[in-house]
A = this chain, B = another copy of it.
């Protein structure tokens, strides 16, 4: 049990940047999903060999989890900002506009890593599926809590269903991601978001 974690670089130093490699892996998972991304796809995009991948990241599942962390940290930051908006409508606006901006970005893949990976049903990927679904459920819970608070704030009518509003908003965002990855144009996605915001209550 060697617990020496000293950063003294003994032995040959690695020849690639793990952060860049992880970003490349994220792009592959994002485009193809967890099971759709083969190790050859990953190593090709990362520019490293299979043993290097296993030495640096553990295995495919661990690599995916790290890519998912990076994705949430860098690409889903707007969700946290949305929850901090002062009104329920502001939350919905920030969420939908953030999602629209993300889905119409020209440099990132279409679709949502969480959405595409949560739909994978392979027998072996059940753990991944559960993990992604758990993270989505946590975000949904945060949305519900935010709308509950909005009821107290008088921000939405006290008869409103906070859980229903949260799940509806979440469903629209999931559908937005699906239609984006199905090839909808930016104008079509924008019309979807605009209409959703026109329909959103308590303007």
Contact = CB atoms under 8 A, between A and B. Distances in A.
Query: How many copies of the polypeptide does the oligomer hold?
Result: 2
A31 B191 contact: no
B164 A194 contact: yes
A163 B191 contact: yes
B118 A182 contact: yes
B171 A33 contact: no
A36 B120 contact: yes
B182 A133 contact: yes
Nearest to A176: B171
A194 B161 contact: yes
Interface string A150-178: 00000000001101110110111111101
Contacts of A171: 171-172, 174-176, 178-179, 192, 196
B33 A121 contact: yes
B178 A122 contact: no
A198 interface: yes
A176 B172 CA distance: 9
Nearest to A201: B199
8 contacts: A33-B120, A35-B36, A115-B119, A161-B191, A167-B191, A171-B178, A171-B196, A173-B175
Q: Which 6 A-B pairs have the closest CB atoms?
A: A171-B175, A164-B195, A164-B191, A119-B119, A174-B175, A36-B121
Interface of A: 31-33, 35-36, 115-116, 118-123, 133, 136-137, 160-161, 163-165, 167-168, 170-176, 178-179, 181-184, 188-189, 191-192, 194-196, 198-201
